[in-house]
Structures are given as C-alpha cells and as structure tokens.
Structure 1
Amino acid sequence: MIRDIDYLQRLSKQIRKDILIMLHKAGSGHTGGSLSAVELLIALFWGKLRQDPKNPHWSERDRFVLSKGHAAPALYAILAHLGYFPKEELFHLRELGARLQGHPDCKFTPGIEVPTGSLGQGLSMANGMAIATRLDKLSTRVYVLLGDGEVQEGQVWEAAMSAAHYKLDNLCAILDNNGLQIDGWVKDVMQIEPLAAKWKAFGWTVIEIDGHDFKQIFEALDKAEKIKERPTIIIAHTIKGKGVSFFENQAKYHGVAPNTEELEMALKELEH
C-alpha cells in the first residue's frame, strides 16, 4: 500500500499523460471521464485494494468494477503501472486483436473483473460479488465506480435498494460526480439531485468529498470500511477532463480523443 500523497500526485500526472497518448494513437475513446477518475482509481489501487498483479484471480482479492466502462483508458493505465500487463500494450488501445478494447473485457485483460460499458449494470454485478464473497466467508471488499450520468438509469436504483436490503457492508460505491455527460450538463439532460438525500433514503451511508484530493479520498475509503450492516457510497465531486485546462468542463470531450495539437499542448501542461 502506498499513501505518499506527493508520489501519488506525480503518478496522477503520468497516468493522465498515458491516457492522452493512448487515446490520440487510437484516434477515438473517452477523454473527459477518464481524466476525472484518475485520483479515485489511484487511491483505490495503490492505497486500499488487496490485490496481486501476478495472480489476478487470487480468491481473497478485493474486487473492483468500473461501471462507467467508457473510462477504461484510465483503468488500463493503472493496471499497466501495477504490472498486470506490459505498459507497451497501452498504445495498442482499440486495435483489432489487442487485449485493450474500448470498454473493459474480462476474457482478455488481466485485472478486469467483469465486462462493462452498457451503463447502469455495474452496481448490480458488484452486489452479486459482495453477496457471493460473503457466502464464501471471505473478508473481501467490493468497490464499484459509477458515473453521474449513469445514475439516470433505473437499474442503478434497483441495485441500490437491493444492496441496502441485504445489508452489504462489504460494498462501497464511488460516484464520479463530474456534472457532464455526452449530451451536456447532467442537470439539463436529467436532473439527479439531491443525490445525497436519495442514497440516504435508499438506506446507504453517504460520504461527500473532493474527488481529486487524495487525503479526502483515503479518509472516505477508511471510513467506509468501518460501516456495518449497510452499503456506503462516496459521492466524489470531480471535474470532467481534470488536469488539462482546455478539456476541463467541456462536454464535447466526453467521447473525443485529442488531436495532435491538443495532445502536445496537454502534455506541456502536465509537465508543470
């Protein structure tokens, strides 16, 4: 486990560089939502998850589900830096026959638990994992990363109700609340507020944080681990396109890769 914040902040810049280079080389993919999730994923994979990159199917590992599967470039960069597969594979993103497809695929990519990208389904799958590992009497915890546009899906709320009903205290959801989706501001497409009140009403413990502040993320993850007989959701307030000024809070970069000029400018910004 690594919780050296200075180190993790430097790592976050490198992960962002990798994401942008991957997307540029592929010529397609999701920029904004990959960049917004970087600190959340780093905090989980370096500072919380029990895992073994050399044995991805270790039975006592913690599970992670990327429900917002379009942020796969961020997860791939994380997994490569941890040694799940060679970093060189990052730069074959979305190539025919490559292991790193546009959305996660557990059949081919080490470190991926379930295929995701059809939005709204990840929390249901995480519920199943939480129940199964509890039945197997494992101390495993299950984490799931949701997008804020994603929680417009009805299945998310069915899963929220189910998790509370079964008192899944080994389940922690994290909401990447960056305020934007492919069609614009979430509040304009389909209002989801008041988020905290809704999750509380469904029987969840709710923690709200700045999703780019490592200290707050770690405190929230540690607190969630101590909650008994109810699931926890961490509502992480983030910035779409975080780290590159001209990508930030721009809906058009939801599913658009940077061009050559944008990549060069972005990499220069990330040097500072």
Structure 2
Amino acid sequence: MGSLDGRVAIITGAGRGIGREHALLFAREGASVVVNDLGGANDGSGSDTGPAQRVVDEITAAGGKAVASTGDVADWRGAADLVELAVETFGRLDVLVNNAGILRDAFIAGMDESQWDAVISVHLKGHFAPLRHAAAHWRARAKAGEAVNAAVVNTASASGTFLPNAGQANYGAAKAGIAALTQVAAEELDRYGVRVNAIAPIARTRLTLATPGMGALFAQEVAEGEFDAFSPANISPMVAYLAGEKCPFTGKLFAVQGGAISELGGWHEVRTAQTDGPWNIDDIHAQLTT
C-alpha cells in the first residue's frame, strides 16, 4: 500500500528536474498522475512534447498510471483543460502540485518588460490558473455533499521569501506572490476540504544550474555512494507527504533541501513606533532608529 493509493494528482513542470521526481514518486506511492510540461527552454521559449511523454512512459513501464499534458499552465483555457484531463481520465482530482517555472534573470536597471512579464506569467499566473480551476472542481464536489480531502502544493523559493537574490526581481516577486497566494488559498479552500501549502526547494535543476553565483555550488560532484544533498529527489517525499490524506497542515511554507525541512514564518512585527497625536517626521526617525 502506497501513501497516495487512489489519489489523482496533477503535477506541472513534471517533465524534468524536481517535477519529474515528484511524478515518479507519486506514481510509486499509488497515485494516478497527470504529467504536465510544456517542454520549453529555461527561459520559457519553445515547446516539446517529449519530456512529459517520457515521464509517462517511465511510469507506465513500471506499472503505474499516468497521462501526459503539454499545455501552457499560464493560459486560462489551458489550465482548465488540464483539470478536465485529470477528471476525464481518472474520474476526479485530489492533488495539484504547482511546480512549473522559468528564469529570465536580469538586474532591475536593465530588465526589459518581456523578462518581467514572462516570469510573472509562468510562475504566478501559472500557479493561480490551475489552482482556480481545481478549486472550482473541489467546490462543486463539496457542494454536492461529497467529503473532499484534497491538497495543493505550491512551489515558492528562497528567492523572494528568506534569501533575496540579486538579478531575480521578477522571479523573487513571483515566488513571494506564490507564498502569499498559498496563505490566501488555505483560508478560502478549507471550507471545501482542501489544504494548501508551499515548499521552497533547494536542489540541482536546470534553473539552479543556470542561476548566477549558484551554478558552481549545485554542480559539485558527489562520490558514488555518498548522500547527494542537492539531488532533486530529496524534495519529493515532503511534497508527497503534503499531498497525502493524513497530512494536517495548511497555509504553511517549508524550506526543503537535502536532509533538512524547515517551517518558515512570514513578515512579523519587529518594533512599533507610537504617538498620541499627529506624527512628527523627526519623532518617527528617533523612535525607529533608537
């Protein structure tokens, strides 16, 4: 018996890297998996049906259940089609793992509009659009009297949450937005039996290898038989746990890397300046700097 027996899951960006590891583990744990991947390059350009189909072939060859989807998750109709594919193929949807992403790094003063728009679209809209259509599916089931036990796992990042990275204003802003979206969705969807959490993974992928200042770290070779702390396979067990029916968490963000899982906290009060009347600018300075 696997921990996800009978669960139906959509995993976006599942053709390579972390998403591929999610799909393979979910299938081994008994889930039926919709493997979504546009098959584009690191910057989101192009498309290729091969990555998603190869993961499906690997799952089915091992006796699992999977179907490929190569639609664009940032496209409203494409996101609706993705949810419909899960329902039409496997009867319902229980888990949505939003993982698809791209990079178009640039410093703020040199970033052009297309670099900003593309990253915000794929990451932030590419999380929201599938979430919106999945939420409608779960709401309909709940209103029909079904006891829904569903889960969403979003993919945030250290960049934009606890480790801002220069050159990634677009990526960091999108990932911070995903963390906020996770908390709002957790509040809204609880009434329908849906838990919503997010991870901030640190692992070796096409994107991290291409990140300035980080590629050399992730590219370090590991001797055979030693624990590979940056293997993307280290991330997937936590995602499978969050997707399971027994997981109690919602509205949480977890940093996941190697052998460490850390629950993260968001913005919190550090100090408070107070006045009994109108603010004086010099008083603000005095209170906040002493």
Larger radius of gyration: 2
Judge same fold: TM > 0.5, yes or no: no
The TM-score with structure 1 as length reference comes to: 0.41
| Larger relative contact order, structure 1 or 2 (CA cutoff 8 Å, min sep 6) | 1
TM-score, normalising length from structure 2? 0.39
